[in-house]
């Protein structure tokens, strides 16, 4: 493989990672739409469609391994491939969290917490993933660092919402008919936990981007 062909493969890898991110974000938005509308059919589509994300992950994993094994990259090229490999892993896990949202939708019978805006919080995390992936594609370390600031906002939103749910549980008279409340509390807390995890994965994408560009590991944890 010539140097020109090799550089083209690297550029294509970055393009393909962004396309995987687009797919994952599309699945996330559909999961949030299903959750908001309590649309079991749409939720089922999100769950069944997870194989598309998994297939894309495996394809890109093979691409990364081939570039590592066949070209023995060094310095900046090595960081690009390593970052790409880590980022697709985070994207695949975000796809799994979208599936979780679909499953929570199918188990829901009511909306006990109408004041908790899952759609807003969820959309903010999707935007984090998109911003982090754009920073990776552009090699923009400054934009990647901003993701950590947004993640603090998401953490606060999730913590405040979780506090509302726990307070409702503590104030409730569970008695013999308390199981529906427990189910609702569990589902909402799991939903908030998973949305917060999506934000954490977006931070991981940003962290790998910062390291790829500047060899700075400040966001890696």
Stated as kind and residue range, the H or E segment containing 167 is helix 141-171
Residue with tokens 């606060």: 156
Counted residue by residue, the chain has a size of 221
CA dihedral angle for residue 57, residue 58, residue 63, residue 64, rounded to 10 degrees: 70
Cα four-point dihedral sign 26, 204, 14, 145:
positive
CATH of domain 3-214: 1.20.58.220
Residue 174: what pLDDT? 63
* Predicted confidence pLDDT, tens digits, the chain (221 residues): 677 788 899 999 999 999 999 999 999 999 999 999 999 999 999 999 999 999 999 999 999 999 988 777 788 899 999 999 999 999 999 999 999 999 999 887 667 788 899 999 999 999 999 999 999 999 999 999 999 889 999 999 999 999 999 888 888 766 655 677 788 888 999 999 999 999 999 999 999 999 999 987 776 66
What backbone torsions phi and psi does residue 110 show, to the nearest 5 degrees?
Answer: -155, 170
Residue 112: what pLDDT? 77
The CB density around residue 18, as the number of other CB atoms within 10 Å, is 17
Residue 219: what pLDDT? 64
Residue 113: what pLDDT? 82
The CB density around residue 163, as the number of other CB atoms within 10 Å, is 10
Residue 176: what pLDDT? 55
| Helices and strands, number each (H, E), in the chain | 7, 0
Residue 184: what pLDDT? 86
Residue 221: what pLDDT? 61
Residue with tokens 């995890």: 197
Domain ranges for the chain: 3-214
Kindly state the DSSP code that residue 116 receives in the 8-state scheme.
S
3-state DSSP: the chain helix, strand, coil percent, rounded to 5? 85, 0, 15
């Amino acid at each position: 493989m010539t140097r020109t062909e090799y550089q083209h493969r690297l550029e294509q890898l970055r393009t393909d990672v962004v396309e995987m991110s687009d797919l994952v974000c599309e699945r996330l938005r559909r999961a949030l739409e299903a959750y908001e509308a309590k649309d079991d059919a749409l939720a089922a589509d999100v769950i069944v469609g997870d194989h598309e994300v998994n297939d894309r992950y495996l394809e890109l994993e093979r691409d990364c391994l081939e570039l590592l094994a066949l070209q023995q990259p060094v310095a900046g090229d090595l960081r690009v491939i390593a970052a790409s490999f880590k980022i697709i892993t985070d994207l695949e896990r975000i796809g799994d969290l979208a599936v979780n949202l679909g499953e929570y939708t199918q188990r829901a019978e009511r909306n006990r917490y109408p004041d908790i805006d899952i759609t807003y919080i969820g959309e903010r995390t999707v935007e984090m993933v998109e911003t982090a992936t754009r920073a990776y594609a552009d090699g923009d370390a400054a934009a990647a660092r901003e993701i950590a600031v947004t993640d603090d906002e998401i953490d606060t939103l999730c913590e405040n919402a979780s506090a509302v749910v726990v307070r409702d549980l503590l104030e409730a008279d569970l008695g013999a008919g308390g199981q529906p409340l427990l189910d609702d509390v569990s589902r909402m807390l799991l939903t908030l936990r998973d949305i917060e995890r999506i934000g954490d994965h977006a931070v991981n994408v940003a962290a790998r981007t910062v390291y790829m560009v500047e060899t700075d590991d400040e966001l890696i944890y």
